[in-house]
Amino acid sequence: MISLPSFPSQQISEIQYPNFQEFSFDSSLLQKLHSCKSEKELKGIHSLIIKSSPSPQAQQFIYNKILSLCSSITPLIDLGYVHTLFTQLPNPNISLYNSLIRCFSGSRSKQSSLIILLFYHVLIEKGLIADNCTYPFVFKACAQLCDLRQGEMVHVHVIKNGFVLNLYVVNTLMSFYGSLGAVMDVRKVFDESPQWDLVSWTTVIQGYVKNGYWKEGVDMFLEMVEAGYTADEKLMVVVISACAKLGDLSLARKLHNYICDHRVKFDVFVGNALVDVYLKCGDTDSACKVFNKMPSKNVVSWNSMISGLTQKGDFKAALNMFRKMQDKGVKIDEFTLVAALNSCANLGTLELGKWIHAYLDRNRIEVDGFTGNALIDMYAKCGSIHAAVGVFDRMKLKDVYTYTTLIVGLAMHGEGGMALKLFPEMLDMGIQPDEVTFVGALTACTHAGLVEEGHKYFADMSRVHNIKPQMQHYGCMVDLLGRAGLISEAIRFVEDMPVEPDAFILGTLLGACRTHGEVELAESIMEQLATMEPDKDGPYILMSNIYASANKRKEALQLRKGMKRRKLRKAPGCSSIELDGAVYEFRKGTEYFPLSPAKGEECVSKINFCLQLELYILFQSLGVTSNMMVLSLGTSSSCLGKERNTILNHLQSGPANPFYPGPADL
DNA sequence: ATAGGGTTAG
> What's the pLDDT at A617?
52
CA-to-C1' distance for A585 and B2, Å? 59
Helix (H) or strand (E) holding A136: helix A135-144
**Which pLDDT band holds residue A6 (cuts at 50, 70, 90)?**
very low
Three-state secondary-structure class, residue A223? helix
**Which pLDDT band holds residue A612 (cuts at 50, 70, 90)?**
low
Residue A7 neighbours by CB under 8 Å, 6+ apart:
A15, A57
Residue A577 neighbours by CB under 8 Å, 6+ apart:
A583, A584, A586, A612, A615, A616, A628, A629, A630, A631
Separation CA A139–CA A384 (nearest Å): 49
Residue A357 neighbours by CB under 8 Å, 6+ apart:
A367, A375, A391
Q: Is the peptide bond before A501 cis (omega within 30 degrees of 0)?
A: no
Separation CA A553–CA A331 (nearest Å): 61
Separation CA A559–CA A314 (nearest Å): 34
Q: Is the CB of A575 under 7 A from strand B?
A: no
Three-state secondary-structure class, residue A630? strand
The answer, yes or no, to whether residue A642 has pLDDT greater than 80, is no
Per-residue CB contacts under 7 A with strand B, chain A residues 259-298: 267-270, 272-273, 276, 298
> What's the pLDDT at A326?
93
**Which pLDDT band holds residue A24 (cuts at 50, 70, 90)?**
very low
Per-residue CB contacts under 7 A with strand B, chain A residues 360-389: 369-371, 373-374, 377
How do residues A121-168 score in pLDDT, each as one tens digit?
A: 999 999 999 999 999 999 999 999 999 999 999 999 999 999 999 999
Q: Is the CB of A299 under 7 A from strand B?
A: yes
Three-state secondary-structure class, residue A48? helix
Separation CA A475–CA A508 (nearest Å): 7
Task: Report the nucleotide nearest the CA of residue A401, measured to C1'.
Answer: B10
Task: Report the nucleotide nearest the CA of residue A438, measured to C1'.
Answer: B10
Nearest residue to B1 via alpha carbon and C1': A133
AA identity, residue A589: G
Q: What is the mean pLDDT of chain A?
A: 81
Task: Report the nucleotide nearest the CA of residue A96, measured to C1'.
Answer: B1
Task: Report the nucleotide nearest the CA of residue A200, measured to C1'.
Answer: B4
Separation CA A530–CA A521 (nearest Å): 14
pTM score: 0.78
AA identity, residue A411: A
- If you compute the radius of gyration of chain A from its CA atoms, what whole number of angstroms results? 33
Q: Is the CB of A490 under 7 A from strand B?
A: no
Q: Is the CB of A133 under 7 A from strand B?
A: yes
Task: Report the nucleotide nearest the CA of residue A408, measured to C1'.
Answer: B10
Separation CA A592–CA A615 (nearest Å): 14
Beta bridge partners of residue A577, listed in sequence order: A584, A630
Question: Poorest-confidence range of A40-54, A118-132, A326-340, A613-627?
Answer: A613-627
CA-wise closest residue to A360 among A386, A379, A383 = A379
Distances from the Cα of A299 to the Cαs of A303, A305, A332, A343, A453, in angstroms?
6, 10, 7, 18, 47
Three-state secondary-structure class, residue A213? coil
**Which pLDDT band holds residue A438 (cuts at 50, 70, 90)?**
very high
> What's the pLDDT at A525?
85
What proportions of chain A, in percent to the nearest 5, are helix, strand and coil? 65, 5, 30
Question: Count H helices, E strands: chain A?
Answer: 35, 4
Three-state secondary-structure class, residue A627? coil
Q: Is the CB of A216 under 7 A from strand B?
A: no
CA-wise closest residue to A172 among A157, A194, A151, A149 = A151
- Which H, E and C letters describe A639-660, residue by residue? CCHHHHHHHHHHHHHCCCCCCC
Q: Is the peptide bond before A658 cis (omega within 30 degrees of 0)?
A: yes
Task: Report the nucleotide nearest the CA of residue A273, measured to C1'.
Answer: B6
CA-to-C1' distance for A253 and B3, Å? 29
CA-wise closest residue to A186 among A229, A155, A232, A227 = A155
Task: Report the nucleotide nearest the CA of residue A95, measured to C1'.
Answer: B1
CA-to-C1' distance for A175 and B3, Å? 8
> What's the pLDDT at A353?
95
Task: Report the nucleotide nearest the CA of residue A308, measured to C1'.
Answer: B7
The predicted model gives A229-254 an average pLDDT of: 96
Per-residue CB contacts under 7 A with strand B, chain A residues 415-444: 433-434, 436-437
CA-to-C1' distance for A21 and B9, Å? 63
**Which pLDDT band holds residue A578 (cuts at 50, 70, 90)?**
low
CA-to-C1' distance for A299 and B1, Å? 33
Task: Report the nucleotide nearest the CA of residue A301, measured to C1'.
Answer: B7
CA-to-C1' distance for A133 and B1, Å? 7
The answer, yes or no, to whether residue A664 has pLDDT greater than 50, is no
Per-residue CB contacts under 7 A with strand B, chain A residues 622-661: none
The predicted model gives A412-423 an average pLDDT of: 92
Task: Classify residue A628 by its DSSP letter.
Answer: E
Strand A574-579 relative to strand A593-594, pairing: unpaired
Separation CA A535–CA A467 (nearest Å): 33
Per the CB < 8 A criterion, the answer to whether A615 and A648 are in contact is yes
> What's the pLDDT at A4?
29
How do residues A82-121 score in pLDDT, each as one tens digit?
A: 777 787 777 888 988 998 898 888 777 888 899 999 999 9
Q: Is the CB of A334 under 7 A from strand B?
A: yes
Measured distance between the N- and C-terminal CA atoms of chain A, rounded to whole angstroms: 58
Distances from the Cα of A432 to the Cαs of A399, A401, A404, A423, A459, in angstroms?
9, 10, 11, 10, 16
CA-to-C1' distance for A308 and B9, Å? 14
Per the CB < 8 A criterion, the answer to whether A286 and A267 are in contact is no
Beta bridge partners of residue A593, listed in sequence order: A585
Nearest residue to B8 via alpha carbon and C1': A335
CA-to-C1' distance for A643 and B6, Å? 49
Q: Which nucleotides of B are covered by protein (CB under 7 A)?
A: 1-10
Task: Report the nucleotide nearest the CA of residue A275, measured to C1'.
Answer: B6
The predicted model gives A524-529 an average pLDDT of: 84
**How far from the centroid of its chain's Cα atoms is residue A654's Cα?**
38
AA identity, residue A250: S
Backbone CA torsion sign across A236, A239, A241, A246: negative
Question: Poorest-confidence range of A37-41, A93-97, A593-597?
Answer: A593-597
Task: Report the nucleotide nearest the CA of residue A132, measured to C1'.
Answer: B2
Strand order in the sheet with A628-630: A593-594, A582-587, A574-579, A628-630
Separation CA A170–CA A204 (nearest Å): 11
> What's the pLDDT at A318?
95
